[in-house]
Amino acid sequence: MAQPIRIFDTTLRDGEQAPGCSMDINEKLEVARQLERLRVDVIEAGFAISSPGDFESVKRIASEIKDCAVASLARTSIKDIDAAYEAVKAASSPLIHTFISTSPVHMYHKLKMTPEQVLEKVAVMVAYASKKCPEVEFSAEDATRSEWDFLVKVFEAAIDNGATVINVPDTVGYTTPEEYARLISYLKTNIRNIDKAIISVHCHNDLGMAVANSLAAVGADATQVECTVNGIGERAGNAALEELVMALNTRRDYFKTSCRVDTTQIYRASKLVYSIIGTPAPINKPIVGANAFAHESGIHQHGVLAEPTTYEIMSPESIGLPKSRLVLGKHSGRHAFADRVRELGYELSEEDLNKYFEEFKKLCDRKKDVNDNDIEAIITNSISKIGGFYRLHSFDIHISGSATNSCVIRLEKAGEILEDVALGDGPIDAAYNAIDKMAHAPEHSLEDYSIRSVSEGKDALGEVIVKIKSGNKITTGRGLSTNIIESSILAYLNGLNKILERRVSGGEAGNIRYDST
Ligand code: KIV
Ligand code: ZN
């Protein structure tokens, strides 16, 4: 069997920078912990120079995570590389990931640099990064639209100057499996010093081929693949981790290699990321969609009952799909609750367990049966709860089908109770108008509002997800209650608190993507 494939996860960098996917520091830490349980090899935790908030979260992740390398992105500039190193240096295995564009269209129009200048910059900046950090990855952005001979020169310069990984990104999702495999083989044959570095691939999904392209590259001896949980990322996203890993595992016979990922953590990782970004999994999403292991047709059901492998190429257990859906209630004790939480794949501290048990008990007073979805909703909603500049104290609402609706809201802010009233087209509009009168949040607009029932029955928990736009960032707020007006208010406050938190921690300042060097 060939050497195992290194899984480089960039959910917290390339994934998180996509519109609607931004996460706050608590959410990023929670995702990083789950990536560690998943046993990815590298966590790209962010782009340290892009904002003080990003810097802080990369630093926190680097100091907490022990079993994965932790990387920060950096352009080929001293300031970027210094910030990246400062952020990752506490990691047990720190990595600086530096990049510059190499395609004619990017060099000419975006960088306004000649190929010679780019080559020089790669040599100088990779040397600078590798003096600081033992592991340096160099990416040739837009590699698949670059001239192959130029790529050879650039990668040779990077390796000569200390790069330990060279990455060949399909930045705009342009390549095809066969072409990409040829490019990887070409680089492997023609880069003089390739024995000193590993080849990594990084594919975007614009034409729906990110996973196929990555796997074709593995067939051509690339030994690192970059991916994100659920395939989140710029535009159509990145190669999906769960698809890559399950393809490598299921077709080990074909790829003759695998990876060290614990696949039984996949389902939980996927759920966590979907719940943080406030988007449900498409039902037909490979591996993690609700229908991925469902068999509707009689013929298929009959086959699976007789022998699961008739229609299942992988088992639901292999991705950690919970087997039973147990119901708890007000007579269930802390023990039963703790057991169920563990079975659902959560490893919680005593403190968190106590906190969630309290919420579970409160829920049992309002709801007869509490099932796995309810428990997971309690946990994921708490992860998204930010300290809170404004907390809901109480509210009174007047709802009318024919006249204007009104809402009185009382908020708690640093021990003080604020109260205001507002009118609105509907009760939620009225509530949000009242909040806006009191909360001093930066200019914002509500971009999306969705509500879903977490479980069955009239007493089900209602989860509201809002998307609030402030500046050029979209923030997700979530709220959970058996009263849907309350969930709506909590979701809006959660979103506004996150926006305020980001402003206070300086997370707003930069927002650099990769448009210049
Ligand atoms: O898609 C891309 O080219 C990137 C690089 C920064 C690696 O994300
Ligand atoms: Zn990318």
According to DSSP, the residues that pair with 423 across neighbouring strands are 406
Pure H helices in 316-464: 334-343, 350-366, 372-383, 427-438
Helix (H, G, I), strand (E, B) or coil at 165: strand
Enter the CATH code of domain 391-438: 3.30.160.740
Q: Which residues surround ligand 2, an ion (CB under 5 A)?
A: 14
The CATH number for 3-277, chosen from 3.20.20.70, 3.30.70.260, 3.40.50.410, 3.40.30.10, is: 3.20.20.70
Q: How crowded is residue 407: how many other Cβ atoms within 10 Å of its Cβ?
A: 26
| Sheet of strand 405-413, all strands in order from the earlier edge strand to the far edge | 391-398, 405-413, 416-424
C-alpha–C-alpha distance, residues 426 and 407, integer Å: 10
- For ligand 1, atom 2, name the residue with the nearest CA: 171
Looking at all shown ligands, the one closest to residue 239's CA atom is 2
Task: With CA atoms as reference, report the closest residue to 41 among 63, 15, 65.
Answer: 65
Helix (H, G, I), strand (E, B) or coil at 290: coil
| Sheet of strand 462-470, all strands in order from the earlier edge strand to the far edge | 445-453, 462-470, 473-481
* Bridge pairing between strands 42-46 and 473-481: unpaired
Distances from the Cα of 180 to the Cα of 165, 259, 298, 318, angstroms:
18, 21, 41, 30
- For ligand 1, atom 5, name the residue with the nearest CA: 141
Helices H / strands E in the chain, number of each = 17, 14
Please classify residue 513 by burial: count the beta carbons closer than 10 Å to its beta carbon, then call 0-12 exposed, 13-18 middle and 19+ buried: exposed
How many angstroms is it from 100 CA to the middle of ligand 1?
Answer: 9
pLDDT in tens, the chain (517 residues): 778 999 999 999 999 999 889 899 999 999 999 999 999 999 999 999 999 999 999 999 999 999 999 999 999 999 999 999 999 999 999 999 999 999 999 999 999 999 999 999 999 999 999 999 999 999 999 999 999 999 999 999 999 999 999 999 999 999 999 999 999 999 999 999 999 999 999 999 999 999 999 999 999 999 999 999 999 999 999 999 999 999 999 999 999 999 999 999 999 999 999 989 988 899 999 999 988 887 666 666 677 778 788 878 899 999 998 766 667 888 888 888 888 888 777 778 898 899 899 989 988 988 888 888 888 888 877 776 666 789 999 999 999 888 889 999 999 998 899 999 999 999 999 999 999 999 988 999 999 999 999 877 788 889 999 999 998 888 999 898 989 999 999 999 999 998 998 887 766 544 455 544 4
Buried b (16+ CB within 10 A) or exposed e, 205-216: bbeebbbbbbbb
Give residue ranges with CB within 6 A of ligand 1.
14, 99, 139, 141, 167, 169, 171, 202, 204, 514
**Max Cα-Cα span within the chain:** 77
Domain ranges of the chain: 3-277, 294-320, 334-383, 391-438
According to DSSP, the residues that pair with 170 across neighbouring strands are 203
C-alpha–C-alpha distance, residues 266 and 39, integer Å: 10
